[in-house]
Structure 1
Amino acid sequence: MEQNERLLHSSSFGAAAPAYAEHRPDYAQAAVRWALEPAPGPRVLDLGAGTGKLTAALVVLGAEAIAVEPDPAMLAELGRALPTVRALPGSAEAVPLPDASVDAVVAGNAMHWFDMDVAGPEIARVLAPGGVLAGLWNVFDNQVDWVARLERVSGSAAIGPRDTRSSWRAETAGAHLPRAGLVARFGSPEQTEFPHGQRRTADSLVATFATKAGVLVMPEQEREATLDPIRAYLTSRPETAHGEFTLPMLTGVLRVQRL
Structure 2
Amino acid sequence: MPPPPRALRARSFDPAAARYDAARPGYPQALLDAVEELTGRPIRGSRVVDVGAGTGISTRLLHARGARVTAVEPGPGMAAQFRRGLPSVPLVRGIGDALPLAAGSADLITYAQSWHWTDPARSIPEALRVLAPGGALALWWNIADRDVPWIREQAARLAARFTDSAHGAPPAARRFPDELPSHTRTVRWSRTVPLAVHLENLGSHSLFLTVGQETAADFLDRERAELLAAFPGGTVREEYETELAVTIRPGTSFSR
Match of 2:234 in 1: 243
What amino acid is aligned across from residue 51 of structure 1 in structure 2? T
1:225 to 208, 218, 228: 218
What amino acid is aligned across from residue 240 of structure 2 in structure 1? M
User: Aligned with 1:137: secondary structure?
Assistant: strand
* CA-CA distance at 1:92 after TM superposition: 0.5
Match of 2:254 in 1: none
Residues 156-188 of structure 1, C-alpha deviations (whole Å, 9 max, x = no match):
68962856xxxx7x43354x349xxxx5xx5x1
241-250 vs 59-68, which deviates more? 241-250
TM norm structure 1? 0.85
State yes or no: 1:137 paired with 2:129: no
User: Aligned with 2:234: secondary structure?
Assistant: coil
* CA-CA distance at 1:202 after TM superposition: 1.5
Distance 1:102 1:39 in 2: 15
Match of 2:192 in 1: 199
Match of 1:172 in 2: 173
State yes or no: 1:212 paired with 2:205: yes
What is the aligned-residue RMSD (CA, Å)? 2.2
Percent identical: 29
Match of 1:21 in 2: 21
Q: How many residues align?
A: 241
28-37 vs 115-124, which deviates more? 28-37
Match of 2:66 in 1: 62
Go from structure 1 to structure 2 and tell me whether the alpha carbon gap of 1:244 and 1:161 turns closer, same or farther (over 3 Å shift).
Answer: closer
State yes or no: 1:88 paired with 2:89: no
What amino acid is aligned across from residue 190 of structure 1 in structure 2? H
Distance 2:58 2:164 in 1: 21
* CA-CA distance at 1:245 after TM superposition: 3.5
Go from structure 1 to structure 2 and tell me whether the alpha carbon gap of 1:243 and 1:228 turns closer, same or farther (over 3 Å shift).
Answer: closer
* CA-CA distance at 1:144 after TM superposition: 1.5
What amino acid is aligned across from residue 109 of structure 1 in structure 2? Q
Go from structure 1 to structure 2 and tell me whether the alpha carbon gap of 1:157 and 1:252 turns closer, same or farther (over 3 Å shift).
Answer: farther
State yes or no: 1:47 paired with 2:46: no
Q: How does 1:2-17 map to 2 (within 5 A)?
A: 5-17=5-17
Distance 1:220 1:243 in 2: 24
